[in-house]
């Protein structure tokens, strides 16, 4: 019994992780063809994997066949979608606007849908299920429909490998060659292992489960590895700190805890002198599941949140369904718990996103400040920030209120200039003209002005300069705040 549940939980864990990767990919740019194709691929594999999981633990063969037919929706479409995805990323010149192209591409998938999903007279018994130590297992009949499927999945997979190989071979970009090799290797491994477990060993040893959905995790993660390196432009800002192995382990642990609830008997659980009743055990399990959900949101960022949300949402729906079906309030605490976890993890996610946006804004501001500070200090013209007639002494502008070129032109240090007004370093014959312009500037009659005037250096000599005065409102709305730029200077 334990082996049956472990196989089923493995299928469910794969489905959740794959679906989360597809949702995460689609969120950043749902209009990109590659994004949509990758998401469709993950949905197909999720349907395939979840159908296999539910078929494995089905109470009887009839129910198992229903879930097998549901699973066929996924595996029937997977290989056509995978080829479609390869066509997109390799930039093959296919007629993507022609309906007949998609008809030809997905025709084998429609045939699989007819043969293995929809009951019909041409293939009345597509599944031959028998119960084993690993649950309900299908025995391959190797009839004409099975052979059509073999030709379909092998043919489409090999064709995709050819396109990927040509893509890498023809490109002079080394990064594209690496992408081509990585995806090819992952697909080849999946093709060999999938054929071995689901075709060869399934025919020789009918007791073994078919593990192809689990094996399909290999190419999905390979593509995701490339996404983490900003390939294909499929996503922006994929978090490289996210560990999908940790996510997979957490999902598996969550599902194992869920399965444990089905093994809790009314008699409770006893171990030596310690006796735990059913409600205590369920309470412990719920707390552990909550801990896993919070860990995923806090540690594994957006992919972790997506997985955590999916797990708790599915658990909530299942718990509500149980309450409705058996007309019992026994599952009411579980409903409250799962609802509470969904609210908590969503609030945590919102807070983390706002915090991340704030940190990003601060980091961007720091970069800008460093850039403008560097430009300010290295500018070939003199720049000074003024407050009225005084050189400003605002704390926030301590390092960028007077630049080195301004000091050099006037032959005075920053400390000395901050004690002087501009009228004190202006030649007496030029003060009246300068004040006339400045008064108009303060009253808002002019928004800026420039003039040629003489400035007095520390040694008493005079330097002729061209100055530009413009408003500076970063420190407030005081119209007297302005920036003075010395655009040229020469001696007389």
Q: Are residues 44 and 129 in the same domain?
A: yes
Closest CA to 219 of 201, 192, 196, 198: 192
Which positions ≥6 away from 252 have C-beta within 8 Å? 9, 10, 13
Q: Are residues 399 and 449 in the same domain?
A: yes
Q: How would you write the pLDDT of the chain (492 residues) with one tens digit per residue?
A: 667 878 888 888 888 888 988 888 887 777 788 888 999 999 999 999 999 999 998 989 999 999 999 999 999 999 999 999 999 888 877 776 778 888 899 999 999 999 999 999 898 889 989 888 888 988 878 889 999 999 999 999 999 999 999 998 888 888 888 888 999 999 999 999 988 888 887 777 777 888 888 899 889 888 877 766 654 554 444 455 567 778 888 888 888 888 777 666 444 444 545 455 666 777 788 888 889 988 888 887 788 888 899 888 988 888 888 788 777 777 787 788 889 989 999 998 898 888 888 888 888 888 888 888 888 888 888 888 888 888 776 666 666 788 888 888 888 888 888 888 888 889 999 999 999 998 898 888 888 888 899 988 888 888 889 888 888 765 455 555 677 777 766 655
Q: Are residues 396 and 359 in the same domain?
A: no
Which regions of 211-297 does DSSP assign to beta strands (E)? 269-271, 274-276
Which positions ≥6 away from 175 have C-beta within 8 Å? 231
SS3 386: strand
If one counts the domains in the chain, the total is: 3
pLDDT tens digits along 360-374: 888 888 888 888 888
How crowded is residue 384: how many other Cβ atoms within 10 Å of its Cβ?
A: 23
The residue out of 378, 410, 432 marking a domain boundary is: 378
8 Å CB contact between 306 and 12 = no
CA neighbours closer than 13 Å in the CB half-sphere of residue 78: 29
Q: Are residues 228 and 263 in the same domain?
A: no
Q: Are residues 247 and 313 in the same domain?
A: yes
Residue 206's pLDDT is what?
Answer: 72
Q: Are residues 114 and 165 in the same domain?
A: yes
Q: Are residues 45 and 146 in the same domain?
A: yes
Closest CA to 202 of 114, 110, 132, 109: 132
The residue out of 378, 412, 433 marking a domain boundary is: 378
Expressed as residue numbers, the domain containing 68 is: 1-238
Q: Are residues 74 and 215 in the same domain?
A: yes
Q: Residue 460 belongs to a domain with what CATH number?
A: 3.30.450.20
8 Å CB contact between 57 and 5 = yes
SS3 87: helix
**Alpha-carbon span 331 to 321, nearest angstrom:** 10
Q: Residue 176 belongs to a domain with what CATH number?
A: 1.20.1070.10
Q: Could you tell me where the DSSP H helices lie in 137-243?
A: 144-170, 174-195, 201-204, 212-215, 217-227
**Alpha-carbon span 101 to 103, nearest angstrom:** 5
Which positions ≥6 away from 172 have C-beta within 8 Å? none
pTM of the predicted model, to two decimals? 0.69
Q: Are residues 366 and 418 in the same domain?
A: no
8 Å CB contact between 488 and 406 = no
The residue out of 216, 238, 260 marking a domain boundary is: 238
Which positions ≥6 away from 58 have C-beta within 8 Å? 64, 66, 67, 135, 136
**Alpha-carbon span 188 to 199, nearest angstrom:** 16
Q: Are residues 233 and 269 in the same domain?
A: no
Q: Are residues 232 and 248 in the same domain?
A: no
Q: Are residues 139 and 159 in the same domain?
A: yes
């Amino acid at each position: 019994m334990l082996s049956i549940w472990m196989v089923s939980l493995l299928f469910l864990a794969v489905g959740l992780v794959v679906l989360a990767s597809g949702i995460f990919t689609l969120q950043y740019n749902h209009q990109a063809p590659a994004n949509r194709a990758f998401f469709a691929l993950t949905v197909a594999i999720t349907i395939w994997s979840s159908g296999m999981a539910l078929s494995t633990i089905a109470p009887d063969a009839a129910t198992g066949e229903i879930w097998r037919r549901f699973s066929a929706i996924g595996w029937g479409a997977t290989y056509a979608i995978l080829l479609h995805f390869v066509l997109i990323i390799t930039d093959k010149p296919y007629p993507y606007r022609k309906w007949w192209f998609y008809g030809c591409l997905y025709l084998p998938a429609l045939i699989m849908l007819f043969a293995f999903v929809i009951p019909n007279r041409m293939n009345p018994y597509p599944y031959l299920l028998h119960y084993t130590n690993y649950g309900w297992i299908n025995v391959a009949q190797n009839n004409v429909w099975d052979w059509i499927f073999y030709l379909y999945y092998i043919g489409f997979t090999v064709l995709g490998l050819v396109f990927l190989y040509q893509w890498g071979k023809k490109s002079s970009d080394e990064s594209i060659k690496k992408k081509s090799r990585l995806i090819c290797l992952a697909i080849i491994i999946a093709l060999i292992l999938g054929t071995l477990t689901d075709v060869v060993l399934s025919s020789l040893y009918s007791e073994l489960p078919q593990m192809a959905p689990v094996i399909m995790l290999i190419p999905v993660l390979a593509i995701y590895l490339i996404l983490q390196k900003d390939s294909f432009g499929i996503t922006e800002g994929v978090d490289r700190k996210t560990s999908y192995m940790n996510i997979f382990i957490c999902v598996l642990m969550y599902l194992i805890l869920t399965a444990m609830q089905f093994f809790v008997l009314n008699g409770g659980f006893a171990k030596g002198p310690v006796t735990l009743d059913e409600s205590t055990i369920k309470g412990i399990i719920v707390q552990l599941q909550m801990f896993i959900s919070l860990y995923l949101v806090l540690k594994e960022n957006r992919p972790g949140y997506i997985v955590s949300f999916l797990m708790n949402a599915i658990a909530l729906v299942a718990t509500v369904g149980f309450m409705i079906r058996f007309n019992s309030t026994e599952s009411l605490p579980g409903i409250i718990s799962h609802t509470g976890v969904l609210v908590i993890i969503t609030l945590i996610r919102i807070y983390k996103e706002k915090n991340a946006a704030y940190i990003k804004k601060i980091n961007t501001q720091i970069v800008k400040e460093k850039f403008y500070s560097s430009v300010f200090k290295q500018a070939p013209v003199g720049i000074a920030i003024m407050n009225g007639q005084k050189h400003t002494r605002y704390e926030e502008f301590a390092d960028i209120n007077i630049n080195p070129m301004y000091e050099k032109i006037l032959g005075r240090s920053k400390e000395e200039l901050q004690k002087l007004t501009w009228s004190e370093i202006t030649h007496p014959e030029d003060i009246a003209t300068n004040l006339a312009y400045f008064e108009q500037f303060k009253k808002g009659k002019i928004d800026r002005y420039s003039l040629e005037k003489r400035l007095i250096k520390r040694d008493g000599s005079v330097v002729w300069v061209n100055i530009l005065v413009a408003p500076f409102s970063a420190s407030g709305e005081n119209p007297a705040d302005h920036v003075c730029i010395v655009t040229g200077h020469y001696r007389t």
